[in-house]
Structure 1
Amino acid sequence: MKIRYLMLHAYGMGGTIRTVVNQANAMAKAGHDVEIVSVVRRRTKPQFAIHQDVRVSALVDQRQGRQTDSLARKAWRRFRGKIVPRGEFAAEYFTERVEKAAMDYVSSLPDGILVTTRPALNLIAARRAPKNVVRVAQEHMNLTAYPDTIRHEIARHYGSFDAVAVLTRTNQLEYQEILPDTKIVQIPNAVHKVDQVRSTQQNPVVVAAGRLVPQKGFDLLVKAFAEVVADHPDWRLRIFGNGPREARLRAQIDELGVGDNIALMGRTDRLDDELAAASVYALSSRFEGLPMVMIEAMTHALAIVAFDCPTGPRDVLTDGVDGRLVPPRDVDGLAAALKEVVGDRRRRLEMGAAAAATARGYAPDVVMPMWENLFAELTRGDRVGSR
C-alpha cells in the first residue's frame, strides 16, 4: 500500500509527531510504500529517528525565515488562509502561503492513502483531496478540548472522510454523536516498545514530562508536590520538557520554597533512562487525547498518579490497580494520592507490575495490525457509510 502521512512539522518535538513517526516506521518495516510530508520545516534534521525506507519531504521551508511567535500571530491575523479556523491550536502556522501549499499538495495526489494528523490538515484534506484518494483523519485530542469554531468545522466537513481514527472509546462516542454516518474507528497510539528496563522503586523520584504549557497542568502539580514535600522531604519531582511557561513555573517553585525538591529539567533525549530511574509518574493535565508518556512510564513499571482528565487516563488506568485516578484539577486530591504512593514501596511495586502488564496492550505488534486492517479494508472499497 502507498501511505502518505501529512504532518504540520515532522522535524519538531511532541507526542503527536513521535507517534505518527512510529506509525510510519512500522508501516515501512511491514513493507509498505511510506512517505512523511511536513507542511513546514523549521529544523535541518528530524528530532525522532525515521526508518530508512520512509521518504521525508517538506512543503514550506522556514529554516531561514522563521518569525518570532508574536510576529507569526500578527502575520496569521493579516494573511491567514481561508480554511483553517480560529481556535486551531496551531493556527498561527497557517498563513495564506502555508495553507495554499497544503491545499495544492493534497489536491494533486493521484491515488493511495492520505493520513492527516490534526484538525487544520484534516479540514484541508476533507475539502481538497480527490475522491480517488483514501482519506483518513487522525484525531489526537478529545473533541471537547476544541473550541466551538473547531467543533463546528469538524461536524460540517469530517463526513467526507473514509474514516476518522480516534484514540479512545470515549473519543469514539464523542465523534459518533456529531458524525453518525461516518466511519469512526478507535485505534490507540503505540509505544515505541514495551520490553523496557523496569523501575526498582528505590529512588525517591517522581517524574512528569511534556510541553510547559497550560494544558499539561504543571502549575497544579508543583502546588500539589509542595504538599508532598512537607511529609516526604527526601522526595524529588523532575519535570522534563520546555515551553513558554518555564519562567512562570520557576517563579512558582521559588515562591513555594521547594527549589531543592522540584527541578525543571528541560528536554531530554534519554527519557527512558529517566523513567527507569524514577518510582512514580505524575500526570497533571487539564485535558489530553491519549497520554503517551504516561503509557511509556507504565512500560517501565512505574506507579501512576493522574488527574482523571478528559480523555485518556481512565481509558488506560484502573484506579487502585495500575494507578491512582484523581478528580480533575483537584490539587489536594493529587497531593494525597502522591503521598499514598510515595509512602508505600510495596504498593508501588504492585501498581508498577500491573501498569507494565496494561501497557502491553499498546505494543506496536498489537496496534499496527489495526492500521493495516483499516487501510486494507478502505482500499478494497469498504469506505464511507459503514462502521
Structure 2
Amino acid sequence: MRALARKGRSAVGRLYRGYTRRKTRNAPPPSTERVRILLLHAYGMGGTIRTVFNLAGYLADEHDVEIVSILKEAEEPFFPIDPRVRFRFLDDRINPGADPVRAMLSKLPSRLIPKEESAYHRFNLWTDLRLARFIRSMDTGVLMATRPGLNLAIAQLALPGVITVGQEHVALRTQPEPVQELIKWRYRRLDALVTLTKADLRDYRETLPKKPRRLTRIPNAVPPMTGDVAKLDAKVAVAVGRMTRIKGFHRLIAAWETVAAAHPDWKLRIFGAGPQEENLAQQIAEAGLEGKVELPGPTTDVGAELERSSIYVLSSRHEGFPMTILEAMGKGLAIVSFNSPHGPKEMITHEVDGLLVKPRTNANLAESIIRVIEDERLRRDLGTRALETAGTYDVDVVGEQWDALLADLLARRERKRAPAAEDVTPPCP
C-alpha cells in the first residue's frame, strides 16, 4: 500500500513538473509592467498594511499595481490608498456565499502555511486553494509577498517566468525555529529578498546557506500625513499600535505612573485596538490614571494626532521597522524608544534625534520621558533633528531604490533568457 502511495505521489510530481515546463515554454517574456502584492488582510490596521499601500501608490506611477489580499474582513480599507491601485480578495469572509466546497475546506487546517507562522490560524485549506490558484495563474510580471508564510508560498509555487520578491517586515531572529528552517532552504528560489534593516540583512546573509538572486535592504518610506509639523507645546505624549503584549503598552502605563506623579498636567494617549485593550483599561483604572492615560481607539488620521502631541513613546519588546517612529519623526516629535537592534537602533541616533532606553525597564522609560518633559530645549532639538532624519526616508528617495531593484531583476531575467552568443549558429552565406 505504501509503495502504491509512493508511486502515486511520484506520478503527481511528474505531472506537476510537466505542467510547469509547458507553462514556462509558452510564457511571455519577463516583465515588470504588472506588480502584484500579497497581503494577509488589506483592509485591516497595521504598519505592514500602511507601508504596502505607500509602496503600491509609488509604483503605480510606472506599473499596473494590484494588491491581492488573502482575507476580506471589512467593507472599506482602514488606510487611504491611491485610487490607481486595485484590490483582489481571495477569501471574502464578510459575504462568503453558500459554496459547499468553500464551507467544507474552510473547516480544514492549512497545509500550505507552516503551523508555527504567527498568522497560521487565519489560513485554512480554502485559502490554500485560492492562494495556490492565484500564484499559478501568473506567468509573468512581479509577485511580491509580505510575510514569511506568503514568501514561502511564492517561492514554492510561482512559475519560472514570474519575478518573485519577498519582503520581511519582522526580524529573522524572532521567527520560530521551524519557520527559520524552511526559510533557509526555500528562500533561495526567490529573485529577491528585501529586509527593512541592516541588522536583519546581516542575519540573513549569515543564516541562509544559499541566497536569493538579490538580498538587499530597502527601508520603509514615510507615508503622506495630514496637517503640519507639531509645535511641541502640547502636554501630550502619544503611542500608536495594535494592542498586543509585544507592543509593551502595559509597561508604558506602568512607567506613566511615575511620570504622572512628577507631572500630573501631562497626558498619555495610546491609539489602537486589539486583544489587550480591556486589560490595559483595567490597568489604568487600578493605577488611578483615569484622565491621565487615555485609550481613544484606532485613528485613521495619525498625522493629526501626532501634530497635537509633543512626545512619541515606543515601548515594544522588539520591532522590525516601526512605521510609527517614522511618522512621529515626520511630524517633528521628540522620540523616546526602547532600544532594539532591528529597528529603533538603526532609525534613532541616541541624544540626536531621539532617546534610546537601555536597559529596557519601566523605570528607565519613565526617567527618559520625564527628562524630555522637563528639558524643553532637548525636546525641541530632538524634534528638529527627527524631522531632518525623516527626510532621508521620503517616499521618492525610497521609491528610487525599488525602481533600481526591479530594473536589475528584469535585466537579470532578460540576460538569462537571451541565447548565449556562442550558441547561436550564424546563417549560411
Helix, strand or coil at the partner of 2:82: coil
1:76, CA displacement in angstroms? 10
Structure 2 vs 1, CA of residues 189 and 76 (structure 1 numbering), >3 Å: closer, same or farther? farther
Helix, strand or coil at the partner of 2:42: coil
Q: Output aligned runs, 1:1-387, within 5 Å.
A: 1-29=33-61, 31-65=62-96, 79-182=108-211, 183-193=214-224, 197-327=228-358, 329-381=360-412
Gaps of 5+ in 2: 1-32, 98-103, 417-429
Partners of 1:210 and 1:76 lie apart in 2 by 33
Is the Cα contact below 8 Å between 1:193 and 1:363 reproduced in 2? no
Structure 2 vs 1, CA of residues 325 and 93 (structure 1 numbering), >3 Å: closer, same or farther? same
The structure with the largest alpha-carbon Rg is: 2
The residue type paired with residue 140 of structure 1 is H
Partners of 1:335 and 1:43 lie apart in 2 by 38
Is the Cα contact below 8 Å between 1:162 and 1:383 reproduced in 2? no
Structure 2 vs 1, CA of residues 77 and 285 (structure 1 numbering), >3 Å: closer, same or farther? farther
Structure 2 vs 1, CA of residues 2 and 274 (structure 1 numbering), >3 Å: closer, same or farther? same
Partners of 1:282 and 1:88 lie apart in 2 by 28
Helix, strand or coil at the partner of 1:48: coil
Helix, strand or coil at the partner of 1:381: helix
Partners of 2:162 and 2:143 lie apart in 1 by 7
Partners of 1:307 and 1:42 lie apart in 2 by 33
Helix, strand or coil at the partner of 1:286: coil
1:50, CA displacement in angstroms? 2.4
The residue type paired with residue 306 of structure 1 is S
Query: Once structures 1 and 2 are overlaid, which stretch shifts more, 150-159 or 331-340?
Result: 150-159
The residue type paired with residue 149 of structure 1 is P
Partners of 1:77 and 1:331 lie apart in 2 by 43
1:193, CA displacement in angstroms? 3.4
Gaps of 5+ in 1: 67-74
| 1:72-122: CA deviation from partner (whole Å, max 9, x where unpaired) | xxx999721222112212111111111221111111211001001111111
Partners of 1:192 and 1:91 lie apart in 2 by 29
Q: Output the TM-score relative to the length of structure 1.
A: 0.93
Is the Cα contact below 8 Å between 1:199 and 1:276 reproduced in 2? yes
The residue type paired with residue 100 of structure 1 is L
Is the Cα contact below 8 Å between 1:194 and 1:359 reproduced in 2? no
Partners of 1:384 and 1:192 lie apart in 2 by 35
Is the Cα contact below 8 Å between 2:226 and 2:303 reproduced in 1? no
The residue type paired with residue 176 of structure 2 is P
Q: Output the TM-score relative to the length of structure 2.
A: 0.84
* Identity value in percent: 40
- Kindly tell me the number of residue pairs found equivalent between the two proteins: 376
1:64, CA displacement in angstroms? 3.0
Give the root-mean-square deviation of aligned CA atoms. 2.1
Is the Cα contact below 8 Å between 2:336 and 2:357 reproduced in 1? yes
Partners of 1:384 and 1:170 lie apart in 2 by 32
Partners of 2:79 and 2:358 lie apart in 1 by 34
Query: Once structures 1 and 2 are overlaid, which stretch shifts more, 35-44 or 160-169?
Result: 35-44
